[in-house]
Amino acid sequence: MEKAIAAPTPQLKRQHRKNRMRKATPYLLLLPSIIMIVAFLFYPMATVFYYSFQHYDISAPFYDGFAGISNYVDIFTKDKLFYSSLLNTFKWVISEVGLQLIIGLMFALLLNEKFRFRGLARTITFLPWAISGVLTSVMWMLMYNEHIGVFNDILMRVGLIEKNISFLSSTNQAFMSVIIAELWRGIPFFAVTLLAGLQNIPEELYEAAKVDGATRLDELKSITLPQLKNTIVLTTLLRIVWEFNNVDLLYNLTGGGPANSTMTYAMYIAKTAVKGSNFGYGSALTAIGFMILTVVAFLYLKFSKYNEEA
Amino acid sequence: MASSKKNQTFLFYIPVALMMLWTVFPLYWTLNTSLKPEGDVVQRTIQYIPHNITLENYINAWKDVGFDTYFGNSIFVSIFTVLLTTLVSLLAGYALGRYQFKGKNVFMLILLMTQFIPRSMLIIPLFVIFSKLGLISNPLSLILIYSTVQIPFAAILMSGFISNIPKELEESASIDGAKQYQVLFKVILPLLLPGIVATSINIFVYAWNEFLLALMLTNNQAKFTLPVGLSFMMGEFNVNYGALAAGSIIALIPSIILFAIAQKQLVNGMGGAVKG
């Protein structure tokens, strides 16, 4: 007690300063990331909401100023593309995430078996994950092409079609064609993460099941899937967000056409922004998209009962 | 599944072969196209194996189409993104992995939240911000935004790697009289290196591949990155398919090499990050 009351010695002062420094250190270490995240993520998001209430048209600068909710009213009452692009997004996300999950799980199960060249097979299977969306678009565009494309040639040889199909420019096939191309790039993500999940399942569970005479299907249903549940919930959520926003393939393969049949919501925003005239309207679309995505993510986490015991 | 004996029945290899075919065929087809002379590419009878192999498409893409410029721009942007992101996320990761402090959980939550900010929704505000800063068509704008987007995930990975290094190692080094920075460079950094490499490759591949922001923030062809250059070429009225394929193969090489080198760490890192 006496010591604490006594005048601080120089040694104690140094100790105090050292303590203060120690307390400040983590905040100093975090400072650069905080500055960058605020400046280039949070501030831009805030301006989206601000612009959405403005007339902000860079092709008509005289038309600037407060717009109230008129951008929003226009979107909900006049904009047919708003509704059709949302519907397309819904189809896009469901089919991409669903198919990627199912096929990715099949790939992961295969790659989890012990077989010759397994390492090589894993490397090759995961490869598309490192390849850009634009590159994927080029590859599939070359294969889909109506005149020089290999798919038409194969289908013709097999006898399934009689004349060449324009996969990407007919409203019947375009959406399906882009979905298949995006699968190629999306499956490896699930294969990787699910394989990591599979490797964490204790071997004993399967041994016990074998003693009980369980079939492979039983094992899948009562051991593998429940054990993978948290991984599946988290990866699918990440993919839902990612596929909702994904435009690389759509932009490069179809540009949202033909006749807006492949126009998803993010593609619609991108097109509005890149054509770059009406930023106020585009910002209102963006703000709505952000809110939809937030609600979807929240509901998804709530209903999937993430982190609860199965 | 947990089969202990080697599964080598013939039937098992059928799905594996299909899996390989599905993955490899698009790559093969691009390579195949890139090696054909232009006449063979547009010929109506499809050649599954190129007859007259030539490198003219590569020379054409590199010299005339401008892939030398795009390649240089992409390398520049990707390397500086990796450096900036690694540095900043290492600092943050150290704070998160080693210190207990007020607001730590809030900060973690903020990092996670950033993952849900839709990228396509940043294009308008970022265009406005970088126009005001005079950084449109300047690689600095891409380096800044790519780093910012990658920092949260990288910081979380780094903090995981750092907290895996026993604290006692640091403490015993300080007791032996080493200064703080000596501890960092001599003890922590070498142990962190594999983690840093895996994270850096992840960042590089992202920066190398990003398209939409690069498209929006660049309107000068001399500043195009590879994805924007490819997209621009695809959109041309008279697409030169051979050169397009060759350009794609050129764009593919760095990420394939890095991926092959670090595939294992990458997969482990990713798997660890999304483990439930």
> Please, are residues A92 and A179 in contact by the beta-carbon 8 Å criterion?
yes
Closest CA to B268 of B217, B169, B204, B197: B197
> In this predicted structure, what is the pLDDT of residue A8?
67
How far B70 CA lies from chain A's nearest CA (Å)? 14
CA-closest candidate to residue A287, choices B139, B229, B125 = B125
**What does the alpha-carbon distance between residue A30 and residue B155 come to, in Å, rounded to a whole number?**
10
d(CA B7, CA B16): 12
> Could you give the CA distance from residue A262 to residue A266 in angstroms, rounded to a whole number?
11
From the CA of A159, how many Å to the nearest CA of chain B? 16
Nearest to B2 among A135, A206, A269 (CB): A206
B177 touching A (Cβ < 8 Å): no
Count Cβ atoms below 10 Å from residue A252 Cβ, excluding itself.
24
Residues whose CB is less than 8 angstroms from the CB of residue A181 and which lie 6 or more positions away in sequence, other chains included? A136, A137, A139, A140, A144, A249, A253
Eight-class DSSP state of A54: E
Q: Name residue B242's beta-bridge partners.
A: none
Name the residue with higher pLDDT: A180 or A61. Answer: A180
Interface of A with B in 141-170 (CB under 8 A): 141-143, 145, 147-148, 150, 153
> Could you give the count of Cα atoms lying within 13 Å of A113 in the half-sphere of its Cβ?
18
**Cα A175 → chain centroid:** 18
Which chain B residues touch A134 with a CB distance below 8 Å?
209, 211, 226-228, 230-231, 234
CB contact at 8 A, A223 and A205: yes
Q: What tokens were used for A148?
A: 């020089």
pLDDT band at A180 (very low <50, low <70, confident <90, very high): very high
Q: Give how far A6 is from chain B: nearest CA, Å.
A: 29
Q: Name the minimum distance, in Å, from the CA of B123 to any CA of chain A.
A: 7
Q: For a pLDDT cut of 90, what percent of chain A falls above it?
A: 51
pLDDT value of position A1: 45
pLDDT (tens digit, 9 = 90+) per residue, B133-178?
999 999 999 999 999 999 999 999 899 888 888 888 777 777 777 7
**What is the per-residue pLDDT for B271?**
55
**Residue A142 to residue B22, Cβ atoms within 8 A:** no
Q: Note the pLDDT of residue A306.
A: 62
Q: What is the pLDDT of residue B217?
A: 94
Which pair of structure tokens corresponds to residue A38? Answer: 């605020």
Residue B6: the pLDDT is: 54
Identify whether B26 is preceded by a cis peptide bond (ω within 30 of 0).
Answer: no
- Tell me what pLDDT residue A159 has: 85
Distances (CA, A) of B196 to B17, B86, B154, B166, B193: 35, 7, 9, 17, 5
Inter-chain CB pairs, A–B, below 8 Å: 291
Searching chain B, which residue's CA lies closest to the CA of residue A109? Answer: B1
Torsion of CA B17, B21, B22, B23, to 10 degrees: 100
Question: Which of A51, A116, A184 is nearest residue B8 as measured by Cβ atoms?
Answer: A116
Asked whether B73 and B223 are in contact (CB, 8 A), the reply is yes
Apex CA B26: angle with CA B21 and CA B30, to 5°? Answer: 135
Biggest CA–CA distance in chain B, Å, is 76
Which residues of chain A lie closer than 8 angstroms to B120, CB-CB?
245, 247, 266, 269-270, 286, 289
Between vectors from CA B218 to CA B221 and to CA A55, what angle results, nearest 5°? Answer: 135
Task: Tell me the pLDDT band of A297, cut-offs 50, 70 and 90.
Answer: confident
Q: Please write the tens of the pLDDT for every residue from B12-55.
A: 889 999 999 999 999 999 999 999 998 888 877 788 888 888 99
Share of chain A above pLDDT 70, in %: 95
Cα radius of gyration rounded to whole Å, chain B: 23
Rounded mean pLDDT of chain B? 87
Apex CA A99: angle with CA A93 and CA A105, to 5°?
Answer: 130
Cβ <8 Å between B92 and A148:
no
Residue B112: name the closest of A306, A25, A281 by CA: A306
Return the CA Rg of chain A. 27
* Adjacent-strand bridge partners of A278: A57
Render pLDDT for B55-102 as a digit per residue (tens, 0 to 9): 999 999 999 999 999 999 999 999 999 999 999 999 999 999 988 899
Cβ A251–B212 below 8 Å, yes or no?
Answer: yes
Query: Which secondary structure element, helix H or strand E, spans residue A153, and what is its range?
Result: helix A150-158
The rounded distance, in Å, linking the Cα atoms of A70 and A283 is 12
Q: Phi and psi for A86 in degrees, rounded to 5?
A: -65, -40
Under the banding of pLDDT at 50, 70 and 90, the label for residue B258 is confident
A32 contacts on B by Cβ (under 8 Å): 87-88, 91-92
How does the average pLDDT of chain A come out, rounded? 88
Residues 62-101 of chain A whose Cβ lies under 8 A from any Cβ of chain B: none
Instruction: Tell me the pLDDT band of B270, cut-offs 50, 70 and 90.
Output: low
Cα dihedral sign, A227-A230-A233-A238: negative
**B276 pLDDT band (50/70/90 cuts)?**
very low
Give Cα separations from B47 to A143, A207, B30, B206 (angstroms).
Answer: 12, 51, 12, 34
B14 Cβ partners below 8 Å, 6+ apart? Answer: none
For residue A6, pLDDT over 80 is answered with no
Q: What is the model's pTM? A: 0.89
> What local confidence, expressed as pLDDT, does residue B93 receive?
93
Instruction: Please state the rounded mean pLDDT for residues B242-248.
Output: 95
Average pLDDT over residues A91-101: 97
Q: Give pLDDT, residue B269.
A: 59
- What is the secondary structure of B82-120 as a DSSP string? HHHHHHHHHHHHHHHHH---TTHHHHHHHHHHHTTS-GG
